[in-house]
Structure 1
Amino acid sequence: MIEPRHVLVIGGGVAGLTAALDCARVGIRVTLVEKAERAGGSVATETVAGIRVDTGAESYATRQGTVRKFVDELGLTDAVVRPAAGGAWVRLPTGVSAPLPKAGLLGIPSNPLADDVRRVIGWRGAIRAYLDRIRPVLTIGLEHNLGALVERRMGKAVLESLVAPVTRGVYSADPADLDVTRAAPGLNKALTTAGSLSGAVALLRSAAPAGSNVEGLRGGMYTLVEAMLDELRRREAQILLGTAVVELSHPTTDDDAGAEHVPLARWRAVIDDERTLDADYVIVATPESATLRLLAPLSSDLAAQQPLETPTVELATLVLDAPELDAMPRGTGVLVAEAAAGQRTSREVTAKALTHSTAKWQWLADEATREHPHRHVVRLSYGRLGQPNPSLDLDDDGLRDLAVSDAAEILGVPLTVDQVVGFTRTRWVGTLPGAAIGQRERAERLRNAAVAIGDLDVTGGWLSGTGLASVVPDALAASSRIRHLVASSYLNEGVVIDPHTRTGMNDTSPDVNPS
């Protein structure tokens, strides 16, 4: 008998869990190693005031259907939920708030003169934006800088009051930092067809499938992580949490006289500075800095790279007893527009976005109000690329007080610290958005350098871009490449896999079918 090939997956975020499970499902022996005491990465949960809440990703985009297919395969179909129809609002620096226009893309309106657009940017801004329709048509070619494109075609009001709040909320980045092709797939082609930016948005909107573009899970997104861990354990994968890989190398033999030479695993990982793990193949699914540290000794190309600066984002989660919020005064949440230089403002708001979680998710509202009829969960987000994050300098009480003050200003209702029955903060070292200008090309260069090491692959949000709809397909692609290497190694050795025992047998007969 020949033992199954062994794949070591380093990193237990969603990317690592996805890759590990994809390998385990075809009978490959898998070991998953995660430095933190819990798996899941940016999908996380905590119990606050007796309510289990998401303290990381709270939903996934439905585009391409990859995540939903994965959810279904895990037996979670009945847990899938869609957000309430209330929609998001935008808060302007003047203190005025209005629903975010619905017929748009990343905040770019398809009809600049629509009532919901004028409510945000006024008649002057709307007329300036409408000039996009009568200006010379956009000709064939690729637009790259999203911010420059929006400002040139529709003006500053659309850029600063509609598009920037959306990109800062979604990507933690300004529109000027984002590539049109990555941030809005299909927009460049639609620009050529329609000849105007608003016309291109209208084309894409008309072609989009009906229904919500995001979904969540009843009980929170950590339900996904728990289901993946459960299946990995059922498939006898080894899961090592609270364990760090500090070094990767290729094993060598001792040439002692009389020593019997035996086939060696291709990789040896040193964990926690003392123990070792041997594996045939490795998938590295850690953040960029950790990946480069591990792989730099194995690749001169990677050794020459420095990790990029990424935003440190902090979430402040408040559980409030607040009858004032029963009417859901700002829909499911609010994106905050920043003041331009010299612009008159009301009280400054530090948060970049707020989610009224119990207004967005009915299952969470049911949980929160089971015993307390006016209980609400509100999440505020702080920090974005290229800007200092003032929340990082505050202690817990200071951040709680700031979050309450920001929430009252954003939601337009009086709130006090005395109404807080639960609070937690969660800090994330983010990744550069995959839509950032030049990031996709850089990521592919680094991925190619890593794969060139041999018998190894890499995945993670720093390569694919943020969001489960980007991370899961990228992880499946990495595991698919490793599975191909495993299959090829068996073919080269003339091994037939027994589907019942998941072990292999040598067979030198001429009619062997290695598949």
Structure 2
Amino acid sequence: MSPEPSSVEPSDLAARAAHTHVVVVGGGIGGLVAARECAKVGMRVTVLEAEETLGGSIRRVDLDGVTIDAGAESYATRGGLVRALVEELDLADRIVLPKPGGAWLAGIPGVGAAPLPVGGILGIPANPFQPDVRRIIGWSGVWRAYLDRVRPPLTIGHQLSLGKLVASRMGAKVRDRLVAPVTTGVYSASPDDVDIDVAAPGLNAALTRVGSLSGAVQTLRDDAAEKASEAQAAAKTPGAAVEGLSGGMSTLVDALAADLVRLGAEVRTGVRVRTVRKTGARWSVETEVAAEVEVTAEESGESAATDPLEPVVEELDADAVIIATPESAARKLLASAVPALATTESASSPEIEIVTLVLDVPELAAAPRGTGVLTVPGSHTAKALTHSTAKWGWVRDAAGARQIVRVSFGAQGEPAATAGLDDAAAADLARREAAALLGVAIAPEAVIASHRGRFIQSQPASIIGSGGRRTAARAAVEAVPGVAAVGAWLAGTGLAQVIPDARDEADRLRRALLWDGES
């Protein structure tokens, strides 16, 4: 039996930690958090990031003098673990809440655009007769949804698919016009592919208990409101589903990187990892760094140029490695060291593109369609739009008279409409989509600046079957001593899942290294 941490002398533990080298491959949030957990106990830590900047899906961009988020712009507050990290890093004074205003739906047949109804869960209404619900699904949709109240509940087993449950209980219009825009915007997935027990825990059980889906929604909302009220009273803070950071989410990346340096870790960017090999009880990490030499005009007889050389290759020796890359890269790096991983099923990871526009359109200052717009699938080439200057006070203050919107393209099984376009064409498509979604004319000359970001989105935890895939992959990795893997492909998407998972995996690894004596 392994000794408990309390049975190890602090001096022995410190000495063991100081002689333990952990290499972290990947400088996204998962990798930085895992690296920090190891560095906190005195381990020697080296972080290797292939890109020139850290952060992964958290990125910043400077557009016309305004520095804003180009990737993830907020974090879910559930569990409180992300906020706890933010507070640990002395960023509590930067926490901001989104402005009230709500989202809209666009592409509604016969209606066009309308505010997203309030009082539902994942778009499922608690009361289909609400005027804002009726406006979207029409009277025929309302009466079809009302049948949910008179149909017998599910008493044997339950439906796994959110979309199939909604369609069977409340009809296709509720599924297609209310639920599908939400799941596509939040999970980049069709409601038919969403696991209801993961996306809305307790909904199936509440349906059986109260006898209707709309009643189950109301029950869960009442329960959540009561718990939120108690939590707010205890914490003396307002509740919110998401929070952001003034100055952008990259301030969290900067703080993590600075803390790693303070703890003595080495953080290197622009370093690509070629291979990861297990050699006995140790690990070998082969890296390469691009090398360049400047050739002067006098030497070449032409204009000055920069010629590429063979990359500089380096071999790092480590006691353990943490792989914190996207799934495809992680599987390649671990192919020889964790052969069982090849027998597990990989998930589809769509490429998402976000085009950020800085606009000179004064009409948008009134936030004509709230803080953002979701689209009915098939109605627009964009899946969603965020009106950043309407959603975040700090963005509005930084932008001055300008307006900033972010237009998102791509979903599970649906490539981004911008994928085959050059940057200029992608920006122009985003401009036209923004005009259509916001209901305001946006001329080409109104675009002051633009930025296009590409992201590989790991499969959300709420997709049917993803839990089994993640469990099998994690088991394969954990069976090999001295290695861990973190990130959204194993934890599920979102910082509220990635951060605690990275902490847990780092803790598992450091316990094995320091207290169990494994390496």
TM-score norm. by structure 1 comes to 0.88
> 484, 487, 499: which one pairs with 1:472?
499
Kindly state the Cα deviation for residue 276 of structure 1 after the two structures are TM-superposed.
Answer: 1.2
Corresponding residue number in structure 1 for 2:342: 303
Is residue 221 of structure 1 aligned with residue 249 of structure 2?
A: yes
Q: Which residue of 2 aligns with 1:167?
A: 183
- Pairing partner for 2:267 from 232, 239, 244: 239
Distance (Å, rounded) in 1 between the aligned partners of 2:375 and 2:499: 29
State whether residues 344 and 472 of structure 2, in contact with CA within 8 Å, keep that contact through their aligned partners in structure 1. no
In structure 2, the residue matched to 1:19 is 34
How big is each residue's C-alpha offset from its partner over 1:243-272, in whole Å with a ceiling of 9 and x where there is no partner?
1221122336xxxxxxxxxxxx62111112
1:307 to partner: Cα distance? 3.9
Matched, 1:382 2:425: no
Structure 1 position 83, deviation (Å): 0.4
Q: 2:380 aligns with which of 335, 339, 349?
A: 349
Bigger mean CA offset, 37-46 vs 299-308: 299-308
Deviates more, 1:303-312 or 1:377-386: 303-312
- Rounded to whole Å, the distance in 1 between the matches of 2:144 and 2:388 is 35
Alignment correspondent of 2:421: 394
Taking the aligned partners of 1:269 and 1:331, their CA distance within structure 2 comes to: 49
| Stretch of structure 1 that moved more, 112-121 or 224-233 | 112-121
SS in 2 for 1:64: coil
Corresponding residue of 1:123? 139
CA drift of 1:119 comes to: 2.0
Does 1:367 find its partner at 2:398?
yes
Are 1:281 and 2:281 matched, yes or no?
A: no
2-structure distance, mates of 1:226, 1:194: 49
- 5+ unaligned residues in a row in structure 1: which ranges? 253-264, 340-347, 494-515
Of 472, 486, 508, the match for 1:445: 472
Greater mean alpha carbon deviation, residues 133-142 or residues 43-52: 133-142
Task: Please identify, of 348-357 and 39-48, the stretch whose mean Cα deviation from structure 2 is larger.
Answer: 348-357
Task: Please tell me whether residue 410 in structure 1 is matched to residue 426 in structure 2.
Answer: no
Instruction: Note the alpha carbon deviations across 1:138-181, whole angstroms, 9 max, x for none.
Output: 22534211110111111111111111001111111101111111
> Which amino acid counterpart does residue 215 of structure 1 have in structure 2?
E
Amino acid in the other structure paired with 1:67: V
Tell me the equivalent position of 1:76.
91
RMSD after superposition: 1.7
Aligned residue in 2 for 1:138: 154
8 Å CA contact 2:346, 2:469 repeated in 1: no
Q: Alpha-carbon deviations, 1:320-379, whole Å to 9, x = none?
A: 01111011000000000024xxxxxxxx5211100000000011101111xxx3x10000
Q: What are the within-5 Å matches in structure 2 for residues 171-320 of structure 1?
A: 171-208=187-224, 209=228, 211-251=239-279, 266-272=282-288, 274-305=313-344, 307-320=346-359
Instruction: Give the TM-score, by structure 2 length.
Output: 0.87
Count of matched residue pairs:
468
- Please give the alpha-carbon distance, in whole angstroms, between the structure 2 residues aligned to 1:462 and 1:199: 34
Match of 2:450 in 1: 423
Give the secondary-structure state (helix, strand or coil) at the position aligned to 1:104.
Answer: coil
Superposition deviation, residue 306 in structure 1: 6.3
Confirm or deny: 8 A CA contact 1:62 1:215 kept in the other structure. Answer: yes
Matching residue within 53, 63, 80 for 1:38: 53
What's the CA shift for 1:126? Answer: 1.7
Compute the displacement of 1:77 (Å): 0.7
CA contact (8 A) 1:59 1:214 kept: yes
Do the aligned partners of residues 28 and 195 (structure 1) sit closer, same or farther apart at CA in structure 2, a change above 3 Å counting?
Answer: farther
Q: Which runs of 5+ in 2 are unaligned?
A: 1-14, 230-238, 289-311
Q: SS in structure 2 opposite 1:31?
A: strand
Which stretch shifts more, 98-107 or 301-310?
301-310
Distance in 2, Cα, partners of 1:110 & 1:282: 48
Q: Pick the aligned partner of 2:389 from 339, 351, 358.
A: 358
